[in-house]
Amino acid sequence: MKLNINNRQGKVSPALQSKIEEWLEASQDRYGVISSAQINIEQSEREDEVEAILHIKGKDIFAKASGQNLYVAIDTLKDKIDRQLAKAKEKLTNKKGERKPVPTEDEILVDEEQLEVEEG
């Protein structure tokens, strides 16, 4: 996975960089669909903003979060991205062409009874 972390006002601290890398590695292990990630950090006097663009198979995921400090913003961003990754992984695994569930005997009997009622 390619990872690019940018801070628009300066350098990214090693602690912040390791926190982001650990989160993305854990997400990669859990969902396994991330090919690259771009993280942009912007700090201002009032609040800090973090935005992420993750490239996965078939689409890009974007999220933006802000908070009182960078760690709060990153935690909020984690939650947003993880929800989107879970949804994307679910869509990838539930594509058209999968096997349909086999109906149980009870379902078959109910269908046959409904046909008899409709015909009769």
Query: pTM to 2 decimals?
Result: 0.71
How is residue 42 written in tokens? 């912007």
Per-residue pLDDT tens for 28-87?
888 777 889 999 999 888 889 999 999 887 788 999 999 998 889 999 999 999 998 888
CA atoms within a 13 Å half-sphere pointing along the CA-CB vector of 103: 8
What is the pLDDT confidence band of residue 9, given thresholds at 50, 70 and 90?
Answer: confident
C-alpha 93 chain-centroid distance: 14
Residues 9 and 94: their CA atoms lie apart, in Å, by 42
Contact 56, 34 (CB under 8 A): yes
Domains assigned to the chain: 2-95 (3.30.160.100)
